[in-house]
Amino acid sequence: MSEQRERTFVMVKPDAFQRGLVGEIIGRFEDRGLKLVGAKVTRLSQKQAEDHYGEHEDKPFFDDLVEFITSGPVVPMVWEGEDATRQVRQMIGATDPAEAAPGTIRGDYAVDLGRNVVHAADHEDEGANEREIALFFDDDELVEYDFHESTWLYD
């Protein structure tokens, strides 16, 4: 069975990359039954970072955020699954790790708002996935394939 479910944008931030948490974070989404359709190791340019976080341009933390996100390698990814955007947001937890529930990625691996290990598209912002995926991936970098787990994951 081949199905095209919702695609959502996720990125391992530079702090998690340096702390060796890339595999842990990818494993969380694999274990949940999400399907990885795109991933790369890259370092954001100033322009990419400013575009990605454009909505926060006027906030006092904007410059620090751009400096941090451009400070080292990141792993942008696209995950696919039913209701994937909402599921992933639940799995990463609250923006401030101090508020993030244990069992969420931020709740398990982070302590500081400015070093919260992972980004995921906002499920309340309808255009977020399309916009963020387009910033990091060309269409031909996203792979369509049959996911052998799917018949055991979906009714």
119 binds ligand UDP (CB under 6 A): yes
Query: Active-site residue numbers?
Result: 119
Residue closer to ligand UDP by CB (options 85, 116) is: 116
Distance CA 131, CA 119 (A): 14
As measured in angstroms, the least distance from the Cβ of 70 to ligand UDP is 13
Residue whose tokens read 């990141």 = 74
CA–chain centroid gap for 113, Å, is 16
113 binds ligand UDP (CB under 6 A): yes
Annotation-wise, does 19 bind a ligand? no
User: Which of 42, 45, 51, 61 lies at the binding interface for ligand UDP (CB under 6 A)?
Assistant: 61
Kindly indicate which of the ranges 23-31, 39-47, 73-81, 109-117 contains the residues binding ligand UDP, using the contact rule CB under 6 A. Answer: 109-117
116 binds ligand UDP (CB under 6 A): yes
Q: Which helix (H) or strand (E) holds 150?
A: helix 150-153
Residue whose tokens read 């609250």 = 94
Residue 11 near residue 73, CB atoms below 8 Å? no
Annotation-wise, does 151 bind a ligand? no
As measured in angstroms, the least distance from the Cβ of 141 to ligand UDP is 23
In order of 85, 87, 129, the CA distances from 125 in angstroms are: 10, 14, 8
122 binds ligand UDP (CB under 6 A): yes
Tell me the β-bridge partners of 8: 79
In order of 69, 103, 123, 130, the CA distances from 133 in angstroms are: 17, 26, 14, 5
90 binds ligand UDP (CB under 6 A): no
Residue closer to ligand UDP by CB (options 91, 147) is: 91
Binding interface with ligand UDP (CB under 6 A): 61, 65, 95, 113-114, 116, 119, 122
